[in-house]
Structure 1
């Protein structure tokens, strides 16, 4: 199995079309509370009703609630979605929401341990990325040190020298996120969970045709970003126009910023609704990419075993003169002496 881009799109669309209701319901149940918390946390509360310190405390509390919600509910959500996709993949029939919910509850512990393992490995990855980025920053600054001497724009030139380091940091973060593309499917589809599931995601990325996995993921990422930009730009265009206008005054920019803040809850609502509908396709799409990568990786493992150990069935028949014993254990039954 090594599907082309068109085959992955067709399979994902077929999965979405036949499982739209259970997928949409699961995503809605998961995203609706997060959407409400995000809208409330970004809403502008009148300063006359509470002081700035109280306002800051409310914001921190809402963000903390949102974080805890995502941590404890996301394993249940991914277990449900993976169960829906697994049922369609194995049986070709739409999954029942009750069955998917039961599977999500049964696999909750496996998904939670996988989430915790991902957090631990991500923390280590952040440290490594920060170290590499620091080296890139030092190298960029040293290479541009001669341009700083005697210049009246030292700070601006220093930031310009840091641009390569920032590019390196962003590239490493995106690459690490790409390597985790399959970790949400593995606990519900295979035996491994926890750290093993994270390492298997890396293995499938690299061993399951790296460039095809990268291309599939890049394409769906570009499509998603392009659709989201269509929604984002109308909200930001007045502010961008005011900021870039040659004759704009500080009051014009402040007014545009105030207007942008006022419509931010509406933007969050629309972008969340758009994200919900996009996930009904992008999640099955990445599931198809995962199945394709797993199939390629398993095929390579099977070929390697055959090259190393040969065909075990052929060796068995050769050692037994191409005859199969009638009883298990590879031994004939004892002979009964005649009377």
Structure 2
């Protein structure tokens, strides 16, 4: 029988893989390794998850959320006025591709670009500081709005909040200065102050009358052109407001909570305690919304996660800032009545109607 393998022909080695097989195996292993690495590498996103809800009519970390001066008349309340929260991945957290996909598939969790939550270069510490500052501002504005809604007079004085180190007023005005007048024109709000400064031209020298440590003084400052719009004069300061509160109210929410979005619920709780009758009528109400001193309710982030958190606490009514209504309706409303809220007066009016009749017609997200 003829030998099919002539002298000089290589004999196949059944124990050695072919070159093609080795090449394909190497490529497959490399693909697996690269895929595994891609799955484990962090992606530029953060997750937003439903957080706990806290009753502003109840306690926070073992003490009443609000305490009032001994000479302040308060009234009993009922039901709940919960402020809702969102658990946000920290600035230092690394979200993997697998975690991002799992979160995306959960209806109650949002996956958003990291840059929308944390500015470039933000650290966990700087984020906490900003969040704490926002909470402090929310505490003040909610007290002012609630007191004014309850019939109290709460006067305010424009105050220098910050001075740019390279601005026109550097070395002249100081944080804490109470602004009384600009170019002999009395000012009583931060808005009036900005308008008075903007009435001139860049390069004008204006006089700013301030109260510093109890002493009144007039300071001359030469304005500079705004960096974006050179026709606008600037002092290089930010202006806030110092309020003269007629009664003592202490907000005992600690530093474990941050941000401005509890403001509306803070204000409603204060108003409820200072006025006769129960604002909720015993209903379990939750909500959210930043609030200004004049009672305007502003938009917030994480509305769908806050609705989910409220539903988990068995709330039946949820107060939604008007600008967030469309976003709220894009998700699962969990069977809650979503009350559209533009101002503190809106919220009070709607809750009073629902307290009398849970089926009453009130403005809702639709």
Which TM-score bucket, shorter chain as reference? Answer: under 0.3
TM-score (structure 2 length as normaliser): 0.21
TM-score (structure 1 length as normaliser): 0.22
Q: 1 or 2 for the larger relative contact order (CA 8 Å, sep ≥6)?
A: 1
Q: Which has the larger radius of gyration?
A: 2
Flag the structure with higher helix content.
1
